[in-house]
Chain A
């Protein structure tokens, strides 16, 4: 079955530092989605990537989809305390599979 690995599991950064989380699938994906879950909250949809090599930006967030459509990354430039939470990738290949998430903490 489809396996999705997300690394790192935890990331602690100083405010202003950059942050990257990676998502790797064992199978070729039709698309990949990213969600953010604040502490005590529910997952909130951020973005969907569909095309091979696609890059999308949302303010300080940059999302990439690998050329082989098996991996993706989320990069945050100059983190802020509002970025804290757990970032999940969701790999879609017939069925949707949540990654284990990367929990980001930001020290002010």
Chain B
């Protein structure tokens, strides 16, 4: 398994500002993902963070709103840009590891936009 840390763990931000969330893994991994989870809801995949190339975004998510960096195999950032209250959510990063590419999740970042 992989150990994943995220920073910040939570934040309260004002409308119109941006927040960058960091995800650090204790080992090199090929696959890293970013998810959003609304309270009481399932996880929605935002994008796959690709090392050395642009992230692959899911339908409904765009790079201008959620720019992602992946400078190496142990680190990634997700920025939530020009935030609105609808962006209030928990953001989780995960890595695919193991023989079946099971996912290991970070503790999440709880974002509140006022």
Contact = CB atoms under 8 A, between A and B. Distances in A.
Do these two chains interact? yes
Nearest to B40: A103
B45 A96 contact: yes
Contacts, number: 37
B100 A48 contact: yes
B42 A42 contact: no
A31 B101 CA distance: 11
B84 to A, nearest CB: 24
Contacts of A41: 107
A85 interface: no
B92 interface: yes
Interface of B: 1, 41-45, 92, 94, 100, 102-108
> Which range holds the interface residue count of chain A?
10 to 19
- The DSSP consensus for interface residues of chain A is strand
Nearest to B48: A95
Contact of B107 (A42, A98, A100): A42
Interface string A77-98: 0000000000010100000101
B102 A100 contact: no
A35 B104 CA distance: 10
Contacts of B42: 88, 98-101
